Amino acid sequence: MTANAPEGISAELARWSLGRIGLARARSDRARVSRVASIDQTHNLVFHLQRRGQLTMICGDEAVTAGVGDIVIADDSKPYAIDISERNDCLILQVPAAMLGAELSPAGFHGQLLSGRDPNVAFLKHMLEGLWSEREMFDEIEESVDGVVASAARIACNRQTRPSQQDVVPQSPVKYALNNLGDPALSTATISQATGLGARAVQKAFARHTALTPTAFIAERRLGQAAELLAHDRNQSITDIAFEVGFSDSAFFSRCFRRRFGVPPSQWRGKIAAN
């Protein structure tokens, strides 16, 4: 694997294994990562779950882009490249192809996008995030649980095929925003592009359903999520929480949080802990 990135890039990769499967979290600024075909005897499918930003996988002449909540799959016996957006956060699940069942052809899933709107994909997402966030406790869990994770991955794969343009049903602007709050690029323009609606139509939809502008609605929901995480997630720093909910600047997040709740994030967390 090789990375093409600007000098001084900020990046972090942490790995964890459970039985025969591997799980990793990659956080990085904008970069391109290229991977040659694996020559190992173990043939794996690699599931890239987007938690923040976007990831575009290039397989030969084809490319597929995953947004927040989506999963894109790579077959490690084939070469591919990944373009990573700014402030990117991705969970990576590696599963031996043999664990996914004989009925599933790994070759057919190289470059496959699994939509986060599918409840089976959402279930796999929550399972992976739960395992990762509690991995220190789960170091003592039975390694046979790896089969449960592989089963969830197999179900997500079996329920999805690569969508054609005519099969894609546009989401409502508000629903799209809710499903992509963690993407720092989320805006009226990106919602308009994703839903096929004009900017004015997007603004009217938000006014009708939320009585807010798109910008105000996004900020309100992000700050609400941040308040919940500060209250209940003691493992993440304030900066990590800011990035997780979609802010790309922790100082700006702190100012917005204080305007909304009357106290800075650190004081909010301390007040909740004291209660």
Domain coordinates of the chain in residue numbers?
2-166, 171-274
Task: Report pLDDT for 71.
Answer: 92
pLDDT score for 105? 60
Whole-model pTM: value is 0.63
Q: Report the pLDDT value the prediction gives residue 216, as an integer from 0 to 100.
A: 94
Interaxial angle between packed helices 265-274 and 250-261, expressed in degrees from 0 to 180 and rounded to the nearest 10 = 60
Q: Is 47 helix (H, G, I), strand (E, B) or coil?
A: strand
Q: How far apart are the first and last CA of the chain?
A: 48
Q: Consecutive sets of 10 residues in the chain, 275 residues long: mean pLDDT of each?
A: 62 87 89 76 87 83 82 89 85 91 68 88 92 80 86 82 44 84 89 86 91 93 90 85 90 93 89 63
List helix spans (H) across the chain. Answer: 119-133, 135-138, 146-158, 173-179, 188-195, 199-210, 214-232, 238-244, 250-261, 265-274
**CATH classification code of 2-166:** 2.60.120.10
Residue 145: the pLDDT is 87
Position 68 scores a pLDDT of 85
Identify the pLDDT of residue 254.
Answer: 94
Task: Say what the pLDDT of residue 2 is.
Answer: 65
What is the tens place of the pLDDT at every residue in 59-99? 876 778 888 889 999 988 888 888 888 788 899 999 998 89
Q: What is the pLDDT of residue 168?
A: 44
Task: Tell me which DSSP letter residue 142 carries.
Answer: -
Backbone dihedral region of 247: left (phi > 0), alpha (psi from -120 to 50 degrees) or beta? beta
- How far apart are the C-alpha atoms of 236 and 256, rounded to whole Å? 19
Helix (H, G, I), strand (E, B) or coil at 22: strand
- 171-274 has which fold? Arc Repressor Mutant, subunit A (1.10.10)
Predicted pLDDT of residue 104: 63
